[in-house]
């Protein structure tokens, strides 16, 4: 069970790159393994989250992150198979795992392109057709900052996030949605706004109309926009769940269109 409300975890989560070298305690390891074993990806995606460490696979190995993190010996890894909304669904459950770890007081950091896939694939025992694209160290934060912590500090206190009115709209893409006009969705959309994304690009939009919220993502260099969309959808869906806002995700045949972004999925209010 998450020991803190999920919205609190979304506000608390930070990208931590310096770890103190201790492996996860037996209690924490058991809690994380138990939680991720129960995760089920939405949107029909075939995905799973694994907990790996330097002893995985029967022998000590180096799990490399190209200097972007240091001191961690335990990692979450995301494996999934291609399919419609596969990356969105996979990222959704990975962010759930990240937030659960946050609730336990554990540090994490999404990594997409800065880890050795060869090292991790050797530990992950991927199934046929699975790909491994995302990992995160998980452990105990160090009090000593690494050089990367100095260079990559925009995540702190969510100061680099775009304004609410620049990414959320009412009925179409010409009328900004404000916190005051978002109604019950003010808090879930704010959790989308502060969600992590590659380089904090926030490649997503949402358009609210009568009874629905439509989500879109922009194509970004590096190709992590669908992953980022999945993180945003997790923040929205799990916030709605906590707040008791009934609804479900579904792909509609018709939604507002824009040349700047690709339609992903809609939330239908119930």
pTM of the predicted structure, to 2 decimals:
0.91
Q: What is the pLDDT of residue 145?
A: 60
Domain ranges (residues) in the chain? 6-151, 156-269
6-151 against 156-269: fold identical: yes
Tell me the β-bridge partners of 218. Answer: none
| Least-confidence region, from 7-11, 43-47, 192-196, 254-258 | 254-258
Contacting residues for 48 by C-beta, under 8 A, at least 6 apart? 36, 39, 41, 78, 79, 80, 93
Q: If residue 123 lies in a helix (H) or strand (E), which one and from where to where?
A: helix 117-124
Per-residue confidence at 189, pLDDT binned at 50, 70, 90?
Answer: very high
Mean predicted confidence (pLDDT) in 160-185: 94
Residue 191 confidence (pLDDT) above 90: yes
Tokens of 115: 């880890």
**CATH fold of 156-269:** NADH Oxidase (3.40.109)
6-151: in CATH 3.40.109.10:
yes
Q: What are phi and psi of 122, to 5 degrees?
A: -65, -25
pLDDT tens, residue by residue, 135-158? 999 999 997 665 445 444 544 444
């Amino acid at each position: 069970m998450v020991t803190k409300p999920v919205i609190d975890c979304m506000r608390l989560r930070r990208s931590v790159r310096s770890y103190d070298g201790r492996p996860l305690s037996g209690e924490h390891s058991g809690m994380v393994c138990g939680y991720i074993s129960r995760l089920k990806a939405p949107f029909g995606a075939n995905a799973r989250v694994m907990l790996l460490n330097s002893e995985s696979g029967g022998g000590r190995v180096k799990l490399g992150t190209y200097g972007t993190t240091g001191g961690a010996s335990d990692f979450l890894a995301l494996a999934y198979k291609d399919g419609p909304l596969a990356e969105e669904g996979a990222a959704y459950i990975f962010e759930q795992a990240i937030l659960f770890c946050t609730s336990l007081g554990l540090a994490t950091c999404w990594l997409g392109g800065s880890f050795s896939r060869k090292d991790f694939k050797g530990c992950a025992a991927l199934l046929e057709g699975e790909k491994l694209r995302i990992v995160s160290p998980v452990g105990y934060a160090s009090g000593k900052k690494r050089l990367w912590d100095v260079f990559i500090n925009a995540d702190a206190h969510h100061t680099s996030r775009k304004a609410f009115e620049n990414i959320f709209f009412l009925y179409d893409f010409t009328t900004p949605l404000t916190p005051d006009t978002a109604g019950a969705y003010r808090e879930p959309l704010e959790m989308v706004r502060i969600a992590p994304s590659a380089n904090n690009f926030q490649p997503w939009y949402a358009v609210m109309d009568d009874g629905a919220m439509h989500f879109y993502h922009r194509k970004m260099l590096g190709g992590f926009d669908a992953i980022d969309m999945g993180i945003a959808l997790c923040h929205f869906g799990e916030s709605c769940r906590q707040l008791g806002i009934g609804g479900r995700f579904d792909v509609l045949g018709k939604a507002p269109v824009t040349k700047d972004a690709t339609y992903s999925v809609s939330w239908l209010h119930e």
